[in-house]
Structures are given as structure tokens and as C-alpha cells.
Amino acid sequence: MARGGIYCVMRSDELRNADRKQWLRMDLWKMVVIRVESGINCEVIAVQNETREEILSKIHGVDALLWATHIKIDKEILDAAGSQMKTIGSMSAGYNHIDLEELKKRGIKMGNTPKVLNAAVADTAILLGLAASRRLHEGRLLIQDGKWNPSEWILGQDIAGSTVGIIGLGGIGSATARRLQAFEVKEIVYTGHREKPEGIELGARFIPLNESDYLIRNSDFIFVSVPLTPETEGMCNEEFFSKMKKTAVFVNTSRGKVVDQKALVKALKQGQIFAAGLDVMTPEPLPTDDELLTLPNVDVNFCFHTGEVPRQKTREAMGKLTVENIVKGLKGEPMITPVVSNGRTNTRRTKNRTLTVTGRRKYFNLPIHIAVNSVYYYCVIG
């Protein structure tokens, strides 16, 4: 008989913090109880190493996947899970790591967590823009190397009175624009497929895609917040940076592959642009000997999208929405934030579900058997 349950991945950094792990576990089950009534038992399989091999070895027979890893969901993963798996909750806003066409072929529902991260990532975008424009990293290096000369000024770029270009005025782009208004910028311009009501509300000027050169050439700051698609992959390339002002600051909080990283390094080294602030890069984690880390005019945020996880509340909100999507999917109800909604859900109920966490078994009476694959441990249900 196929095994149902919750399948999760625990990251190694969480394993190293036993006290934190225990607190999160308690909070996790408290949040589960809030959302369930009574009924069958669930099985949770905690994966200690977030590897594709371990996932493939343990995923068979699950009823739903709670996915909070950048490992790709493809035909191999879906085949390993089995044909009974009809519901996926992705604990992320982006879904470029999920083969949507394969989900549609199999009638699998999938939901994500848009909007939850908007404020957190927008805060990070502003942080990176200010740090890069004020040469924060370069200044620290001078202090660290004993080269601080009080008679020399390290001059940066002002954000007040500047023209700011936003590529991608979605949830994060809009949140970034709202924060920029407090810095008394001169103008906010944005580009995309169409003019947006949010842009009108913010007083931002729309630049059609076929005129996007205007934004690139005239912006003092460029914030990139687009999803990774075939259209956007590598869009910030050598030609893109050659059009920017030499005094301009480039900030990327979208996806690393949106940027041709070699072209960015070249632009930074040759002074084609003033500085850059990056929350994402390629690959992640970035190798310690990567040339990007040798440059004084780039501020690199901690890898794996630190902008997304500034506080526990943000992750809890993401986990809550992911689980609600899964529960609704298994009940045959529309997900709250669907991405693929033409799948059928498996609403059968079985008995004696087991919850397995880091090798120890515990039993909980839960109303729905959610079999969830690959997730940060503390977000399995919470």
C-alpha cells in the first residue's frame, strides 16, 4: 500500500542549532493543531540532508509535497512520488524550479506563497542600494586593511534627488518603490509588459519594454525584481551594463540567472557602473574564491536569498499559506494562491499515519494525511 505522510527536508544549519530546532518544532505542531480538527494520523519524514538522492529514496507513496528547496521538481521526482500524488505546496514566490507543464500533464495542483516576502525583500533592496551607493563594503575594507586616511573622503552617490529605475513592478517592485518615496527621489520609472495601476498610484512613470533603453541610460539606481523566465534569463548582460551611467548603482533581488554575472564583474572592474548590491547570484552558495567577492564596489548579501528571511514571522506566514494551500488541494477545494489549478486532488483517508522527525516517531491525530516532500523543517506545517 502506498504510504502517505508529510515529507520534509531539514537543512544542516538547523541541525546544528538544537535549541532553535526544538523551539521551532514546538511552534510547528502548535500551528498544526490550530488548523486541524481530529481524525487520522500523519507521517512526517524529516530528511537530514537536502539532497536529490535522499528525496528520491524516500518520496514514494506521498499524497502531497510541501516543497521549500531549490531542487527541481521534474519528471523524475514526480515519477518517484507516484501517480497518487496530486497536490504540491511550494514555499516560495518563484517557481522556476518546478516543471509546470509536467504538473499539468499529470493533473497536479500547485500553489505558491506570493506577496508574503514582498516587504522583507523590498527592505533588503533598499539596504543593498544604500550600502552600495555609500561604498559601505569598500570603507570597511579600508578600515580592516589599515588604510583609513582621515584626510581623504570616500564619496558615494546620493539617492535623494535621483532617478530610480525598477525593472519588474510586481509585488516586490511596488514595495521597493513605496520605500523609495521616503528618500525623496526625483522620479521613479519602471518597465514591463504593460502599465500597472500600482505604478499610477505610486506616481511612477511607465516605460514600454521597447523603450527600456531610456530607463537603463537615465537611471541613477536600477532595481531588478523580475521572475526568472526564458525571457528574463541573462537580460542584464554586457550590453545592458554598457548603457548604464558610470555613476549608477545596480541592485538585484530577483534571481541570479537574470544577470550575466561575468558581464557584471567586468562592468564593476572597469568602472562602467559605480557599484552593485546583490541578494542573489550564480551559483548559490557562491564559491569563496569567486571573483565577485574580490571587488570593493559590490555588496553581496548572504547567499540563498537572505532578503527573504529577516524574521521568524515571515517564514511562519509562508509556512501557514503553504499548508493551507495543501489542505485545500487535498480537500478538492481551490487553493488560496494557485499556480496550477487543473489537477485533481486525492481526498481518500487512511488510518495510522506516522509522523517521523529526525529518526524519532511521534503520533498526532490530524484530519488530513498530508504527504509532504522537501521542506525546511520548521516550515513543514507552520
pLDDT digits (tens, 9 = 90+) for 48-95: 677 889 888 888 888 888 887 878 999 999 999 999 889 898 988 888
Q: Which of 308, 328, 351 is the last residue of a domain?
A: 308
Cα–Cα distance between 65 and 352 in angstroms, integer? Answer: 19
Q: In the block, which residue shows the cell 567577492?
A: 293
Residue 182 lies in a domain: yes
37 and 94 share one domain: yes
Low-confidence ranges of the chain (pLDDT < 50): 1-41, 303-310, 343-382
49 and 177 share one domain: no
Query: For position 342, what pLDDT does the model report?
Result: 64
125 and 264 share one domain: yes
The SS3 call for residue 70 is coil
204 and 320 share one domain: no
Within 298-371, residue ranges assigned H as helices are 312-331
Residue 1 lies in a domain: no
Backbone φ and ψ for 356, nearest 5 degrees, come out as: -110, 125
Half-sphere exposure of residue 143: CA atoms within 13 angstroms, side-chain side: 7
Q: What pTM was estimated for this model as a whole?
A: 0.71
Determine the structural domain holding residue 283 and report its residue range.
Answer: 118-308
247 and 334 share one domain: no
Residue 277 one-letter amino acid: G
The sign of the torsion formed by the CA atoms of 130, 113, 316, 90 equals negative
188 and 103 share one domain: no
CATH of the domain at 212: 3.40.50.720
Q: Which of 308, 331, 353 is the last residue of a domain?
A: 308
How crowded is residue 344: how many other Cβ atoms within 10 Å of its Cβ? 13
125 and 234 share one domain: yes
Q: Which of 308, 341, 367 is the last residue of a domain?
A: 308
Q: What percent of the chain has pLDDT over 90?
A: 53
DSSP structure string for 148-212: --TTS------STT-EEEEE--SHHHHHHHHHHHTTT-SEEEEEESS--HHHHHHTPEEEEGGGH
185 and 246 share one domain: yes
Radius of gyration (Cα) for the chain, nearest Å? 23
Identify the DSSP state of 298. Answer: E
Catalytic site positions: 305
Q: Residue 376: CB partners within 8 Å, gap ≥ 6?
A: 8, 9, 10, 11, 14, 68, 69, 91, 315
No. of helices (H) and no. of strands (E), the chain: 13, 15
Q: How many domains does the chain have?
A: 2
Q: Residue 170: CB partners within 8 Å, gap ≥ 6?
A: 225, 226, 227
Query: For position 48, what pLDDT does the model report?
Result: 63
The SS3 call for residue 307 is helix
Cα–Cα distance between 281 and 167 in angstroms, integer? Answer: 17
Q: In the block, which residue shows the cell 525546511?
A: 376
109 and 197 share one domain: no
pLDDT in tens, 100-145: 999 999 999 999 988 888 998 999 999 999 999 999 999 999 999 9
Buried b (16+ CB within 10 A) or exposed e, 132-166: bbbbbbbeeebeeeeeeeeeeeeebbebeebbbbb
